[in-house]
Amino acid sequence: MGPVTAGLLQLLALIGALALVHIPLGTYMARVYSSKRHLRVEKWIYEGIGADPDTGMRWPAYLRGVLAFSLAGVLFLYALQRLQGVLPGSLGFASIDPDQAFNTAVSFVTNTNWQSYYGEQAMGHVVQTAGLAVQNFVSAAVGMAVAVALVRGFARSRTGELGNFWADLVRGVVRVLVPLAAVGAVVLVACGVIQNFSGIHEVGQFTGGTQEWNGGAVASQEAIKELGTNGGGYFNANSAHPFENPTPFSNLFEIFLILLIPFSVTRTFGLMVGSVKQGYAILATMATIWLGFVALMMWTEFSHHGPAYELANGAMEGKEVRFGIGGSSIFAVSTTLTSTGAVDSFHSSFTGLGGGITMLGMMLGEIAPGGVGSGLYGMLIMAVIAVFVAGLMVGRTPEYLGKKIGTREIKLAALYILVTPALVLVFTAVAMALPTPANSMTNSGAHGFSEVLYAYASASNNNGSAFAGLNADTQWFNTTLGIVMLLGRFVPMAFVLALAGSLAEQRPVPVTAGTLRTEKPLFTGLLVGAILIITGLTYFPALALGPLAEGLAA
């Protein structure tokens, strides 16, 4: 079997598996967030945090809950890292430096999981399990809660209440993420992923000498890392490490976990707004972009340019031989079109155009299918923009899901899509203009620029993957990337919740002959076009200086 055929078969198997779980999981999540009943364990949690899960919240109160909970997470994780040297289970590792502790705390709370450290050489068992793994669950649940609040904004009328943040948060963790992650961890252990709390031990090498390795609760963290579109690995090599991802099957299963909730939540959306067809339209948009990017990535990485490529049957540099080009291409696209950040290959070693595809995937806003929760609300914002553009074309007030898109709504949507590009482009420009950040680049020219552009695109979109040719463990990058992660996560969330509140207060608009049918293929095409054009106009000059210049030169 040739490598191209193997890659296509993996892609078909992945699509089939996602199709099988789409309806049952999407329906289950709709029931979870629509239920009036509280489980006993949930009641214990509410009593412990002093929250009333039945109190309706308007968008300012919902946002305050998001910010307060996230701030507490940052402070706790920062303190845990600074105290690591005196904690049990530290494996002898010292406390984390302030700038790196800040960066890591912000990174995991914002669902970014950017890592400027070597996990196996810096973090002990307590920080990994009680700190980072816990944030993998709750940061994902926060994104899901915000998405559900926006869906309720479309579904409800003449009320400003969007539900209860604490109830949505707890249900997301207890009823969705924990059960799925438990099953995922068992499957990964069966595949050979390690799960222990062993200390540091020496391992012999084939070439002679020894190497020091430590164990850890890797399978359990790997499962939620992918399922919650987090991405932070136990080891520096992340999902390319055999302890995290040992076989081609485990690689495909991890991709499945990454895409599982983001694709399935489109059905949740359709059920909650009362039209499954609307959910299928959003799903079709996400799937079209994802499949297009996978096809482009496979084409660029399988193309033969010179003897080395011909001997390897493609661009094998920076890729694991046990996964091949097909598995690595699917993983790279899936991780950068979601907010995952996990990698099973070296993105910096991709072809020039291949590296550009990974960057463009993040720059789209990670909406195809996007992160857990964040992908859905990002796509719905783009849908609002698309119907506004359609309304301008026909000279009619735009409507979406029975709600008018007026001045207030379009301003909030526009502000949402402007935040991330502003962060990426401004901070990249400043970093390239200053001598100290530029010294962190291991490459000059277009590739070096791509390293910096990728870093800020990854941080501002809360992705977390890296081009890996950049030394980001400096005070400049730890601090500025941390700031970008905070702003890129919570400023857009504020606009999303404000938009949800505005929509929930409206009266439903009746469907007429002039209403744009947003469940039809025509709207899917319009939405795909709007996404690509808006992103292209925003980022094309920067991409032309980096990956496009490098790819065309090759």
pLDDT in tens, 229-256: 998 888 888 899 999 999 999 999 999 9
Q: Is residue 206 part of a domain?
A: no
Question: DSSP letter string over 14-42?
Answer: HHHHHHHHHHHHHHHHHHHHH-----HHH
Question: Please, are residues 462 and 343 in contact by the beta-carbon 8 Å criterion?
Answer: no
Question: Which of helix, strand or coil describes residue 212?
Answer: strand
- The upper half-sphere exposure of residue 497, i.e. CA atoms within 13 Å in the direction of its Cβ, equals 27
Please report whether residue 148 resides in a domain: yes
Strands 399-400 and 200-204: unpaired
- Encoding tokens for residue 54? 């039945």
The H or E element spanning position 283 is helix 276-302
The rounded Cα 244 to chain-centroid distance in angstroms is 19
> What gap in Å lies between CA 127 and CA 105, rounded to an integer?
11
CA 455 from chain centre, in angstroms, equals 14
Note the helical H segments in 352-474: 352-363, 374-394, 407-433, 435-438, 445-460
Q: Give pLDDT, residue 305.
A: 61
Q: Distance (Å, rounded) from C-alpha 115 to C-alpha 112?
A: 9
Asked if the structure places residue 298 within a domain, the reply is yes
545 touches 451 (CB < 8 A): no
Domain total of the chain: 1
For the chain, which residues score pLDDT lower than 70?
Answer: 1, 205-206, 304-315, 554
User: pLDDT (tens digit, 9 = 90+) per residue, 56-78?
Assistant: 999 999 999 999 999 999 999 99
Structural domain boundaries enclosing 102: 3-201+212-553
Quick check: is 116 in a domain?
A: yes
Residue 77 falls inside a structural domain: yes
Q: Output the six-digit token pair for 210.
A: 């020894």
Does residue 115 lie in a domain region? yes
Element of type H or E holding 434 = none
CB neighbour list of residue 43: distance below 8 Å, 6 or more residues apart: none
Rounded CA separation 483/112 (Å): 12
